[in-house]
Amino acid sequence: MEKLEGQLTIRLLEDIFTRLQQKEIVANLHISDGESERVAYISVGALRMLVFGPRRGLRFGEILVEAKMATEEDVNTALEDQKNLDKPPRLLGEILVEMGKLTEKKVNRVLGVQVKREFLDCFTWRDAMVRFVGGDPSPKLFDPERQVIKYSENLPEFFSSLSQALAEHREVQGTFRSVVDIPTLSEEWRREDVLKKHKGMTKKILDLVDGTSKIRDIARATHITEHECMVALHRRVAAGEVTIDWSRDPATVKRERSVVIAECERLERAVSEMVEDRLARQRLALDYEYLGEHEKSAEQWSILIDKEIELGHVDNALTALEKKIKIYPTDFEAHEKRIQVAARGLRGDIAIKYGVELARLYAKYGFTNRAFGLYEKIIEWAPSNVEARRGFAELARETGNRKAALEHLREVATELEKDGAGEILEEVYSELIKLDTTDSAARSFLRDRAAAQLSWFRRRGPFALCLLLILLSIGLVVTDTHSRIELQAAAQKAREMFYAGSPEASRPLELFKEKIIYSFTPAARHATKLIGELETARKQAGSIQLSDLMWRVRNLDLPANDVASAEKHLKMIIAAGSGTPLGAEANDELQLILDNRAEVRHRWTLEVESVLKRESFGPERGEEAYTNARRILKTAPSWAYPIEPFIPRFVRSDPPGAMIFLDGRPKGHTPQIVRMPANAPARLELSLPGGYENASRMVSADAPFEVNMSLGRPIRWRLELDGCVSAPITVVDGVAYCCAENGLVAAVDTKNGKLLWSTHPVRPDKTPLFSPIPYAPAVSARHVVAATVHNGAFVLDRNTGAVIRHLRDVQEISAPPVFSTDGSLCFVTGDDGYLYTYETTRFAQRGGYLDLDSKVLGTPVFDGSYLLVCTFEGKCLVVDTELSTIVKSVDLNSPITFGPINLRDRILAVSHKADTPILYTVKLVQEDPRRPSSPEGVIVTGKHERMGRTSATPTYIPDALYIPSSAGRVAAMSVGGPKVDLLWVETLGAGPLSAIAVADVEDLCYAVDGSGRLHAFSRTRGEVQWSTSAPTGFTSPPAVAPNGVLVCGTDAVLYMLEFK
């Protein structure tokens, strides 16, 4: 059968489900987004499925309870029976059938519902990939210990219903995103268009997003991401369409905030990887504003403003400036920049308006000289501007400059008399008469005005009242007759504007509707109909323009067959025709261009490499090869630069020297030549320019020696592993225990770099089956425990690496496992806030689990017979492990980000307020050092603006604490005395720092920054002693071994570096 593979789209799944409607087909379907997986095997009359990762849809038991096919008590009883280790593994449906609560037919029907929900749930994933192939199924689908979903009904009919569901959900998704789409900076979404197009479905969606439904329920019903649902809800709140009582459900509010926080973290990664992504930065600023993080929101708006100004997008820059000014109304710099942008964009009237607003703001906050200066500039620029002169006069009057106030008020009066603005002129003369009661022009105008008004009321008052009563009686007839005449004129003007290509063609009709008093008259209804027809015509014309543009792209009818221009136009079509067949065509065409670009890149790379693949020639030929490489580099198109750098080439030459070619980088670096002396020592370390990271070893033709091209640091040894290590490395008795992202657990001898053992706990073929291991392994005298995120923990033999037991009681783990001091107990904390205790003789659970009420953060600390734990909701807990009870609970009233840290007589935890870390300490009672004091003993012991947000758990050594930050800084704190004092703050590199490792035998500490570079700095002064070359690409926090520093790179190589 034909293999299908690519990014998850409804079109691709429809194609797959159409093929699965054939009766004799046998295939494997795999859907994954890196965090969750759906693995299915479809054979004749049967389907098997495994689900990995977070369960966003309903589980089997929840579906039964929802459909009232079983009670909650029956489901809980079956779940308890399922956990019984004395019985063979069974599914929940099998147990309920044995209990007599369900029949096999009903179980199969519910399984079909569950499979359908699991498939449809994939639409809420970001960047998911689909693989549909034939061949043998995965052995894990037939593992009796796994919760395999088995469904056996009419599969062609089942997949036919799935295809219909896909079509419905595609329409729901398109409508939902049309209704609630986040607006761009330059335009707002016209919701009326969508309401007319989708009618009933739009009403259903808007009824769903009504402020009472939970975000998770909305996402499940529409198969839209929770963040989009939350944005929809808050846009309706902002528009006044929905009102929400935020105290109605604290859990819902907390969930919404967590969704936004997760989206902010994703967008932060997006804008850091792609700085030019302005839409992502705009959404990040809006999300920060929702969270109340005004400083971060203003920072993102500032970056966006600079980008828009740089690109010349005046409207976008002005809109972003208004957003920033809304956050900080007294940001004078933003006001001034807004005036400059408007003036630069030839928007003189808008610049003058902004200038008057800023001048009034200056005056309000006491900056009188600035206000006068700005008013004078505006008056010099536009002498006839009434608002500026009135503002100047008002400010002059307040400061006692009566003469200047009179002068400008008289100028204003002169301008208003020219325009015939009677009401404003009356206000000006009223102000003028207050300053100068003898002003003849003002007295004459006000006297004549009062006399005219009095005369009119005396002569025409009774008649006007009678006339008004008559008009009210025949108002409907007169209004409709007059409206029809105006409607004809407005419709003619709208048609002229439409044929002229104006996007505001419907504006005359809308203005006409605003003037009409009675909206139920025939003229008003006819105007509404004309507006709808005009909008339909405008959309059709836009579709024709897009089709014409698509034809030009396909025939390369663009300047000089410019591929970049074609790509730009295709992206415009995709953005304008989202959800339409034309948009899908443009997307396919863009993919072809990108594939062609990759092919050209590859050919260009091979051409350069062919020049550098000379095995033996003299220095003259070497210079010739270098010149040819430069020539090819210059003639290649700019967009064909290679993504990956070349592997550096070593070229043997005649004495007295050897030659190495170095690669050219995409950022403009050219190929380099490095010559090495023939009498080079047996080991030579070169610190080369940044960017040469692919090769790490070369041998000279004259004398063998190593050239370290990626680190620039002496290496004791290097070891290639079968997986990249990003979790902390645990070093015990000279052996390093590592956990890789693909589930590998390895033990390495730090003396010589020898691999003692490596194990994939689940599959012997070393393919990644379960989620990565992000936590440091726990090591005791006999065992090693490695905890995954979503698939429990594995117990391994410390000497051989053999898997002893799989701890499946807790599926989702939130913190690293911990052994007791004597190794007799092992503690594992679940993501649901439960603490599980295991006896290490058989690794059986002891006494059930202990409810901690919240998710555990950081690594729990074992002290004697007590376990110190910090929870996400801000509680410090002391657990008596012998009695399995909480001895003391101290509430810090602030969410904890890192902790606990045991300071002998105190427990320390880290929280944050904005970007400022706050260190909390809980004093311990003298009679029992393991029992904390009452909540009154909780104090804020440090608040330091320079430190930045903490990025990893602080490192504690006697009397000192080292705190890494997300800004690339490290802060040293003195914790020996009664208070926590700041010793120094040092900037190491860019991005968040890893946890800090401290060498006992040296006065050095080590940390890896966000770019993957390793830094060594002084423990007492903070001065950087050395750093690896940039970019290095280290992924794991450093670990100190007896003879060096351990760190793992992105190439899955474990390095042992020298201390100094």
SS3 434: helix
Question: Hey, how many other C-beta atoms are within 10 angstroms of the C-beta on 899?
Answer: 27
Nearest CA to 870 among 880, 884, 858? 858
CA 967: distance to chain centroid? 18
Q: What is the DSSP letter of 620?
A: H
CB 898 within 8 A of CB 954: yes
User: Residue 616's pLDDT is what?
Assistant: 36
Query: What CATH class has 718-848?
Result: mainly beta
- pLDDT band per the 50, 70, 90 thresholds, residue 762: low
Domain 852-943 matching CATH 2.60.40.1260: the answer reads: no
Helices (H) and strands (E) in the chain, counts: 27, 41
**Amino acid identity for residue 493 in this structure:** K
Each residue of 524-543: pLDDT tens digit? 666 666 666 556 555 554 55
The answer to whether the peptide bond before residue 895 is cis (omega within 30 degrees of 0) is: no
Query: What CATH class has 174-393?
Result: mainly alpha
pTM score > 0.75 for this model?
A: no
Arithmetic mean of pLDDT over the chain: 68
SS3 411: helix
- pLDDT band per the 50, 70, 90 thresholds, residue 747: very high
CB 424 within 8 A of CB 413: no
User: Residue 619's pLDDT is what?
Assistant: 43
What's the full length of the chain, in residues?
A: 1060
Sign of CA pseudo-dihedral 569, 575, 577, 579:
positive
Indicate the range of 221-225, 506-510, 734-738 predicted with least confidence: 221-225
Containing H/E element for 537?
helix 522-554
**Percent with pLDDT over 70 in the chain:** 55
Contacts by 455-463 with C-beta closer than 8 Å and gap 24+?
none
Choice between 1057 and 646, residue whose per-residue pLDDT is larger: 1057
Q: What DSSP line would sit under 822-865, residue for residue?
A: TSSEEEEEBTTSEEEEEETTTTEEEEEEEE-SS-EEEEEEEETT
SS3 518: coil
- pLDDT band per the 50, 70, 90 thresholds, residue 907: confident
Q: Which two tokens stand for residue 110?
A: 């519910």
- Would you say residue 872 has pLDDT above 50? yes
993 contact partners, CB below 8 Å, separation of at least 6: 951, 952, 964, 965, 966, 968, 969, 970, 1007, 1008, 1009, 1010
- pLDDT band per the 50, 70, 90 thresholds, residue 929: very low
Nearest CA to 280 among 205, 227, 333, 342? 227
889 contact partners, CB below 8 Å, separation of at least 6: 875, 876, 877, 878
- Would you say residue 422 has pLDDT above 70? no
Counting beta carbons within 10 angstroms of the beta carbon of residue 535, is it exposed (0 to 12), middle (13 to 18) or buried (19 or more)? middle
Q: What is the DSSP letter of 614?
A: -
- pLDDT band per the 50, 70, 90 thresholds, residue 735: very high
- pLDDT band per the 50, 70, 90 thresholds, residue 652: very low
Average pLDDT of the residues in 232-259? 55
CB 982 within 8 A of CB 973: yes
CB 640 within 8 A of CB 601: yes
Q: Per DSSP, what are the bridge partners of residue 950? A: 965
Each residue of 657-689: pLDDT tens digit? 444 444 433 333 344 444 444 444 433 334 333
The top-scoring range by mean pLDDT among 327-331, 847-851, 946-950 is 327-331
Question: Hey, how many other C-beta atoms are within 10 angstroms of the C-beta on 695?
Answer: 19
CB 908 within 8 A of CB 899: yes
Please give the Cα distance from 449 to 427 (Å, whole number): 12
CA 913: distance to chain centroid? 20
- Would you say residue 800 has pLDDT above 60? yes
Q: Which two tokens stand for residue 720?
A: 């290639």
CB 646 within 8 A of CB 609: yes
Each residue of 29-43: pLDDT tens digit? 888 876 778 888 788
Each residue of 596-632: pLDDT tens digit? 655 555 555 555 555 544 433 344 455 555 555 555 5
Rounded to 10°, the helix 522-554/563-576 angle is 150
The top-scoring range by mean pLDDT among 503-512, 731-740, 853-862 is 731-740
CB 1033 within 8 A of CB 1046: no
CB 233 within 8 A of CB 215: yes
Choice between 534 and 167, residue whose per-residue pLDDT is larger: 167
CB 494 within 8 A of CB 537: no
267 contact partners, CB below 8 Å, separation of at least 6: 280, 281, 283, 284, 287
User: Residue 711's pLDDT is what?
Assistant: 59
Rounded to 10°, the helix 332-344/314-327 angle is 170
Place of tokens 């505006």: 378
**Domain extent listing, the chain:** 4-153, 174-393, 394-473, 477-554, 600-716, 718-848, 852-943
Q: What is the DSSP letter of 124?
A: G
User: Residue 737's pLDDT is what?
Assistant: 92
SS3 747: strand
Distances (CA, A) of 14 to 11, 152, 247, 543, 581: 5, 21, 43, 26, 15
| Residue 627, phi then psi, degrees to nearest 5 | -65, -40
Q: Which two tokens stand for residue 669?
A: 């670096």
